[in-house]
Amino acid sequence: MISKDQLARFVRYLNQNHLASNKIRYFSTKRKKKIMEELRKLYSIETIGHIVHFVGRNKSIVDTKFMIESKLWWIDQKWITLPRSKQTVPPIQFKGPITLYFGYPNDDEAVSSHP
C-alpha cells in the first residue's frame, strides 16, 4: 500500500503547514501501524485502484491523494513529491595525502596522518 517513509513525509507536511488540528508527534520513531491509526483520526482512508484517498473527517482538513506507483501526492491541485526530512549530505572524500591536526596548527604535539 503506502510505505512508512511516505507516511512520515505526509505527516511532516501536515505538521509544518499546520494543516491538522493536532500535530502527530514522534512519528519517525513510531511503527507504520500506529501512524496509520493517528491518521485515521483525521482522515477516512480508502484505496481505490492505485490511489489512496485521504478524505478529511473535518471540513478544515484538506483532502489529498497518494498515487502508489509513482509515489506522488495530490496537494494544491497538482501531483507533487513530498521531500524527505533532511537532504542527503554527500560524504566527504579526500584525495592524496592529507595532514590532520588535533589542536592548534603550531602545537608541538600535533598529530598527523597520511593514508
- Report the C-alpha gap between 92 and 102 in whole angstroms: 18
| pTM as predicted | 0.67
Q: What is the pLDDT of residues 28-85, one digit of tens each?
A: 778 889 989 989 999 999 999 999 999 988 887 888 999 999 999 999 899 999 988 6
- Report the C-alpha gap between 96 and 115 in whole angstroms: 8
pLDDT of 115 over the 90 cut: no
Count of structural domains within the chain: 1
User: Is 96 inside a domain boundary?
Assistant: no
Give the residue among 110, 90, 67, 84 at the shortest CA–CA distance from 11. Answer: 84
User: Is 12 inside a domain boundary?
Assistant: yes
User: Is 61 inside a domain boundary?
Assistant: yes
Give the residue among 22, 28, 11, 4 at the shortest CA–CA distance from 64. Answer: 11
User: Is 32 inside a domain boundary?
Assistant: yes
